[in-house]
């Protein structure tokens, strides 16, 4: 029953999306007939119904209802509860249902809480949101029905990929999806504003909190995904430029650019068309990412050609949504009047620079991700990795970070560098100090070297905007900016330190033997078999000693899951304030020695702490913006109330 109930809710939600679209369009075409009043409530109910459908699927998974095809294909009754729950979105159909649920809920929240947009723009926005949703509802219902029953219930499920059976990963997809799909609001706002030609500071202020919210989730989601790949794959790396990773990075780059251009539009009424364009691009990148991950095209163009239904469907949705939005942009952009002027050296100028560089990085990543697909259709098999991505992105990221040191100190409209010259002395000193330290340590590659210098300068420069400010009166949004920019420095330092100072050791040792890696002394005591709920493993009982500190216990495993049958390496990590020891156990050689792979990675954790700081900065800004909006609304209501009373 629950499956049928969920399916009914999904159909109903799709029907309401259609109603939302048509009533929105009709209300715009024939204002004054009261049609517009239904749009908001319909949007709210549509989101709620999608949530009901998703909840139904969660119930099916937690009960392991094997009469449902999806559950039988990707779950197993012997799985721990949390992975049964996470299994709901650990497969194609479930994750697409999560997609439309987030999309529907985003529309609901906009309908409930967005009070500042002019009513017409609001109608166009919700109609746009419904249009995009409708496509994805159709995709789910026609080609990816998550509630499909099996003619005969399965005796047992096939299980979830063991790599995905991890607490960190259980909540990674929902976080990422909220970010990914939350950007649909920016897309719909852009459509709404293009339809009604109301692009101005008010539009930017209305859009900003929504973009910030999605961006925070996206930031946390990317960081969590990176940490998961780092410890679960056992390869010691934290970013592989894998197409799936790039698929999440590209919307983030576009959304970051959008946040910065929206602040120019909000404060100075400039960059109008550009901001709208970025709103379209950001969510388009989310859709491109969904296509790459969900169509199977990444495994092989040929695999895609064998079972093209899903891929073609998403591709058609992409073409309709992105093509339609760009066409609308092309028609309307010229009629969006020019924004205010500004000088090259000004806050606006710096933000434009940030935007152009971010867009260039986005282009580099997009080309690199799509190139193997294009090459494959022409008969060549290639893969694109760090040798391409690292230097190419650095070419644009380095100048961007240099300008980031100055940008927040500049005044709006017009400024000159000599005014802030003295203040630049402090970050320059930090850079010089870091340069001295790096040269003293010697043997560091060019990119890590640059990274450490930039991180030192940026760490100091990022807090400079707080100087000469009354800290108690500094708006939360400014604190947020400072925290986020400082986070960039922290994360950058972690990345540079990891690639410059990591020590790796590959050894084969017998039980009782020791190995040294950096400041650590690692001792293998024994290798013993252990068992978990749905796996067995060989576990190394080891102790690790940092210089003269007390030895710590370390237990890396080589796990064998039986449903589906698969082996995973479970690395063991020892975290200190100044870095991580990373231990992986390999195979037993014929002579009884065990292979060990050891890394000492100084300050590697700063990569993710920095990312958390960036997201925290976003959160501060979001709270600050929303609080001031509420204050403004309350004040407006009070004034209106007083006027009304005086009028009597």
Partner 1 sequence: MARIKPKHQRLVLIAIALAVLIAAGLLAAWGLRNQASYFYVPSDIVAKPPESDRAVRLGGMVEKGSMKTEADGITIGFVVGDGKARVPVRFRGIVPSLFVEGSGVVAEGKLAENGTFIADNLLAKHDENYVPRELQDMSEHQKQQVVAETAEAASQ
Q: HEC profile for 420-478? A: HHHHHHHHHHHHHHHHHHHHHHCCCCHHHHHHHHHHHHHHHHHHHHHCCCCCCCCCHHH
356 forms part of the interface with partner 1 (CB under 8 A): yes
Query: CA–CA separation, 584 vs 540, rounded Å?
Result: 9
584 forms part of the interface with partner 1 (CB under 8 A): yes
User: Which is closer to partner 1, CB of 597 or CB of 625?
Assistant: 597
580 forms part of the interface with partner 1 (CB under 8 A): no
Total number of residues binding partner 1 (CB under 8 A)?
A: 62
Q: Which two structure tokens, joined as six digits, stand for 298?
A: 């990444």
Closest-CA residue to 535 (of 492, 570, 585, 505): 570
Closest-CA residue to 124 (of 105, 110, 137, 104): 110
**Quick one: which of 167, 316, 367, 419 contacts partner 1 (CB under 8 A)?**
367
User: Which is closer to partner 1, CB of 234 or CB of 279?
Assistant: 234
Stretch that binds partner 1, among 50-58, 257-265, 373-381, 599-607 (CB under 8 A): 373-381
User: Which is closer to partner 1, CB of 349 or CB of 457?
Assistant: 349
CB of 364 to partner 1, least distance (A): 5
558 forms part of the interface with partner 1 (CB under 8 A): yes
- The contact mask relative to partner 1 for 419-458 (x = CB under 8 A, - = no) is ----------------------------------------
Query: CA–CA separation, 13 vs 615, rounded Å?
Result: 32
Angle (CA) 105-110-116 rounded to 5° is 175
**Quick one: which of 414, 514, 536, 543 contacts partner 1 (CB under 8 A)?**
414
Q: What are the phi and psi torsion angles at 583 (to 5°)? A: -125, 130
Stretch that binds partner 1, among 146-154, 199-207, 299-307, 627-635 (CB under 8 A): 299-307
156 forms part of the interface with partner 1 (CB under 8 A): no
**Quick one: which of 34, 151, 387, 529 contacts partner 1 (CB under 8 A)?**
387
73 forms part of the interface with partner 1 (CB under 8 A): no
Closest-CA residue to 357 (of 426, 310, 415, 404): 404
Query: CA–CA separation, 162 vs 160, rounded Å?
Result: 6
CB of 224 to partner 1, least distance (A): 22
CB of 175 to partner 1, least distance (A): 24
Angle (CA) 11-13-19 rounded to 5° is 105
Distances from the Cα of 611 to the Cαs of 215, 493, 495, 501, 626, in angstroms? Answer: 12, 12, 11, 20, 23
385 forms part of the interface with partner 1 (CB under 8 A): yes
The answer to whether 255 and 371 are in contact (CB under 8 A) is: no
Burial tier of 603 (Cβ tally within 10 Å: 0-12, 13-18, 19+): buried
Query: CA–CA separation, 509 vs 137, rounded Å?
Result: 56
**Quick one: which of 179, 225, 339, 451 contacts partner 1 (CB under 8 A)?**
339
User: Which is closer to partner 1, CB of 338 or CB of 547?
Assistant: 338
Count CB-CB contacts under 10 A for residue 370. 16
User: Which is closer to partner 1, CB of 175 or CB of 284?
Assistant: 284
Q: Which residue in the block uniquely carries the two structure tokens 């893969």?
A: 383
CB of 125 to partner 1, least distance (A): 26
CB of 373 to partner 1, least distance (A): 11
341 forms part of the interface with partner 1 (CB under 8 A): yes
299 forms part of the interface with partner 1 (CB under 8 A): yes
Residue 590, SS3?
coil
User: Which is closer to partner 1, CB of 130 or CB of 537?
Assistant: 537
512 forms part of the interface with partner 1 (CB under 8 A): no
Residue 381, SS3?
coil
554 forms part of the interface with partner 1 (CB under 8 A): no
Distances from the Cα of 624 to the Cαs of 233, 264, 463, 617, in angstroms? Answer: 39, 17, 18, 11
Closest-CA residue to 529 (of 570, 559, 561): 559
392 forms part of the interface with partner 1 (CB under 8 A): yes
Q: What are the phi and psi torsion angles at 44 (to 5°)? A: -65, -45
CB of 410 to partner 1, least distance (A): 14
The answer to whether 431 and 457 are in contact (CB under 8 A) is: yes
**Quick one: which of 116, 402, 593, 626 contacts partner 1 (CB under 8 A)?**
593
**Quick one: which of 30, 115, 197, 340 contacts partner 1 (CB under 8 A)?**
340
Q: For binding to partner 1 (CB under 8 A), which residues are involved? A: 161, 163, 234-235, 274, 298-300, 302-303, 338-344, 352, 356-357, 359-361, 363-364, 367-368, 371-372, 375, 380-385, 387-388, 391-392, 395-396, 414, 506-508, 558, 564-569, 584, 586-587, 589-591, 593, 595, 597
């Amino acid at each position: 029953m629950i499956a049928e109930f969920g399916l009914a809710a999904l159909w109903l939600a799709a029907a309401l999306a259609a109603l939302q679209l048509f009533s929105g369009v009709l209300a715009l075409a024939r204002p004054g007939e009261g049609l517009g009043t239904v749009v908001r409530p319909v949007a709210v109910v549509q989101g709620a119904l999608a949530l009901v459908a998703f909840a139904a699927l969660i119930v099916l998974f937690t009960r392991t209802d094997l009469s449902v095809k999806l559950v039988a294909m990707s779950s197993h009754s012997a799985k721990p509860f949390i992975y049964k729950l996470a299994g709901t979105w650990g497969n194609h159909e479930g994750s697409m249902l999560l997609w439309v649920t987030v999309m529907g809920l985003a529309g609901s929240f906009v309908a409930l809480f967005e009070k500042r947009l002019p009513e017409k723009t609001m109608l166009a926005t919700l109609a746009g949101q419904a249009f995009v949703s409708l496509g994805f509802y159709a995709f789910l219902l026609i080609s990816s029905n998550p509630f499909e029953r099996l003619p005969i219930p399965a005796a047992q499920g096939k299980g979830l990929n063991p790599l995905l059976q991890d607490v960190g990963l259980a909540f990674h997809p929902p976080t990422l999806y909220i970010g990914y799909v939350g950007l649909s609001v920016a897309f719909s706002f852009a459509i709404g504003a293009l339809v009604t030609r109301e692009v101005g500071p008010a539009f930017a202020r209305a859009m900003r909190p929504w973009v910030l919210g999605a961006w925070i989730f996206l930031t946390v989601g990317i960081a969590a995904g990176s940490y998961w790949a780092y410890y679960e794959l056992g390869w010691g790396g934290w970013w592989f430029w894998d197409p799936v990773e790039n698929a999440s990075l590209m919307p983030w780059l576009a959304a970051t650019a959008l946040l910065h251009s929206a602040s120019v539009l909000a404060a100075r009424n400039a960059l109008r068309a550009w901001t709208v364009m970025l709103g379209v691009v950001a969510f388009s990148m989310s859709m491109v990412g969904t296509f790459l991950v969900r169509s199977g095209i990444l495994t092989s163009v040929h695999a895609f050609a064998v079972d093209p239904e899903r891929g073609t469907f998403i591709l058609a949705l992409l073409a309709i949504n992105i093509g339609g939005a760009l066409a609308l942009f092309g028609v309307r952009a010229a009629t969006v009047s020019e924004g205010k002027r500004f000088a090259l050296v000004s806050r606006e100028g710096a933000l434009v620079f940030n935007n152009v560089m971010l867009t260039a990085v986005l282009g580099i990543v997009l080309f690199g991700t799509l190139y193997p697909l294009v090459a494959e259709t022409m008969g060549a098999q290639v893969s694109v990795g760090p040798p391409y991505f690292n230097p190419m992105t650095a070419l644009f990221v380095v100048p961007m970070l240099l300008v980031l040191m100055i940008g927040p100190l500049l005044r709006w409209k017009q400024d000159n560098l000599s005014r802030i010259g003295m203040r630049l002395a402090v970050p320059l000193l930090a850079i010089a100090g870091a340069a001295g330290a790096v040269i003293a340590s010697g043997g560091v590659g060019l990119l890590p070297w640059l990274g450490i210098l930039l991180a030192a300068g940026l760490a100091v420069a990022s807090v400079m905007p707080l100087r000469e400010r009354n800290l108690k009166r500094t708006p939360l949004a400014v604190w947020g900016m400072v925290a986020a920019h400082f986070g960039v420095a922290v994360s950058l330092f972690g990345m540079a330190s990891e690639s410059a100072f990591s020590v790796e050791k590959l050894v084969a040792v017998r039980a009782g033997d020791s190995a040294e890696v950096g400041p650590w002394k690692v001792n293998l005591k024994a290798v013993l078999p252990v068992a978990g709920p749905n796996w067995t493993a060989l576990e190394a009982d080891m102790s690790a000693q940092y210089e003269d500190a007390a030895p710590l216990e370390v237990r890396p495993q080589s796990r064998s899951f039986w449903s589906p049958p698969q082996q995973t390496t479970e690395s063991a990590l020892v975290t200190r304030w100044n870095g991580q020891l990373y231990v992986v156990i390999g195979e037993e050689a014929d002579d009884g020695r065990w292979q060990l792979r050891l890394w000492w990675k100084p300050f590697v954790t700063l990569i993710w702490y920095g990312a958390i700081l960036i997201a925290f900065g976003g959160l501060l800004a979001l709270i600050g913006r929303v609080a001031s909006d509420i204050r403004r609304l309350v004040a407006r209501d009070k004034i209106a109330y007083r006027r009304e009373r005086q009028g009597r």
